[in-house]
């Protein structure tokens, strides 16, 4: 696959002591929606500034669509749309005047600007506020305006730094809905620490911690990384009788009741899980319980994320001890 973004041993050190990005080797395939995930302070925003050529790396390099990115790569940056964290806009401007101004900076003709403005303002649901001053906008409205500005020049690559930060549930859903509707040929890199957002819209994921890339691959592969033979059932009825019946299934190594209605089951390795689950559901039916929910341990991206962070911290501890 052709890479939209590739970094080789990318490193950024501030003041000769703070390692913000540490030997990062990142590959983002063209046409993918790549989630760049990590805890606060992990180095995500610094990495994005390096990808955009807004910072010079201490070591290593960045290429975008096969071309080396530097602070002088203005032509290359025209292929990129960028939404920073919590964007700020001139408060006295309106969406129309601001987007028209941005269009002029991109060198778009009046006809091109008019066409793009009309389309984007509708797409980001700002039509009714198009002539209102930005100073009265909510956080969600500002974010949607930022997305419109980032899309104005029809970029081949879209980089979004925490696009749902500070949004209420309605604003988050609106933003994610918009991202899902974008041209499938466009490459999108989304930086976030909100796991559910990444899981919803991204096909690939990279996890960074303390400036180091500790995982890169598909979300499916990430979940399989921590695959465990366990399920969690939420039931309504006589859960005690259900637990007593579970002891008759040899493939269940142990089970644990969590509260009044939830039971977590752990199976022996390499057992045919589907058959065991069928036996468990048979007990649920025979005991007259209502099944509220059933979840596999591999359904949670949060579990996978935390497991990877714990593994990286353990490796870091061992390296420190060995040295």
pLDDT at residue 321 greater than cutoff 50: no
Q: Are 72 and 11 in contact (CB under 8 A)?
A: no
Same domain, 35 and 158: yes
19/157 same-domain check: yes
Task: Let me know whether 10 and 101 are in one domain.
Answer: yes
Write down the pLDDT at residue 220: 76
Which CATH number is 237's domain given?
A: 3.30.70.100
Q: Are residues 157 and 249 in the same domain?
A: no
Cα(257)–Cα(238) distance, integer angstroms: 12
Q: Would the pTM count as exceeding 0.85?
A: no
Q: What is the DSSP letter of 297?
A: G
Residue 148 domain-assigned?
yes
Range of the domain at 53: 3-218
Please state, for a pLDDT cut of 90, what percent of the chain lies above it.
51
How many domains in the chain?
2
Query: Residue 295: is it exposed, middle or buried by C-beta count within 10 angstroms (0-12/13-18/19+)?
Result: middle
pLDDT attached to residue 305 = 66
DSSP conformation class of 299: G
Q: Contact at 8 Å (CB) between 28 and 186?
A: no
Is the confidence at residue 320, as pLDDT, over 50?
no
271 and 293 inside one domain: yes
What end-to-end distance do the CA atoms of the chain give, in Å?
Answer: 39
CATH of the domain at 93: 3.40.50.300
Same domain, 32 and 118: yes
pLDDT number for residue 317: 37
DSSP 134-169: GGG--HHHHHHHHHHHHHTT--SEEEEESTTTT--H
Is 320 part of a structural domain of the chain? no
């Amino acid at each position: 696959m052709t890479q939209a973004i590739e970094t080789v041993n990318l490193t950024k050190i501030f003041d000769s002591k703070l390692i913000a990005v540490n030997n990062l080797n990142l590959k983002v395939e063209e046409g993918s929606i790549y989630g760049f995930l990590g805890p606060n302070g992990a180095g995500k925003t610094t990495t994005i500034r390096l990808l955009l050529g807004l910072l010079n790396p201490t070591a290593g390099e960045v290429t975008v669509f096969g071309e080396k990115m530097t602070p002088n790569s203005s032509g290359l940056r025209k292929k990129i749309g960028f939404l920073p964290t919590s964007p700020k806009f001139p408060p006295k401007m309106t969406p129309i005047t601001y987007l028209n101004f941005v269009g002029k900076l991109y060198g778009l003709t009046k006809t091109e600007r008019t066409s793009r403005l009309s389309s984007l303002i509708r797409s980001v649901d700002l039509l009714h506020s198009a002539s209102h001053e930005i100073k009265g906008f909510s956080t969600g409205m500002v974010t949607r305006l930022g997305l419109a500005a980032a899309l104005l020049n029809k970029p081949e690559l879209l980089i979004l730094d925490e696009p749902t930060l500070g949004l209420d549930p309605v604003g988050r859903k609106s933003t994610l809905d918009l991202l899902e509707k974008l041209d499938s040929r466009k490459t999108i890199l989304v930086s976030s620490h909100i796991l559910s957002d990444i899981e919803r819209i991204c096909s690939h994921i990279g996890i960074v911690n303390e400036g180091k890339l500790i995982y890169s691959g598909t979300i499916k592969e990430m979940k399989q990384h921590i695959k465990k033979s366990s399920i969690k059932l939420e039931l309504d009825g006589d859960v005690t009788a259900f637990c007593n019946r579970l002891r008759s299934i040899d493939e269940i190594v142990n089970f644990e009741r969590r509260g009044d209605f939830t039971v977590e089951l752990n199976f022996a390795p390499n057992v045919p899980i589907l058959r065991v689950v069928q036996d468990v559901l048979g007990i649920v039916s025979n005991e007259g319980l209502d099944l509220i929910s059933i979840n596999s341990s591999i359904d949670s991206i949060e579990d996978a994320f935390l497991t990877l962070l714990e593994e990286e911290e353990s490796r870091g501890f061992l390296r420190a001890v060995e040295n």
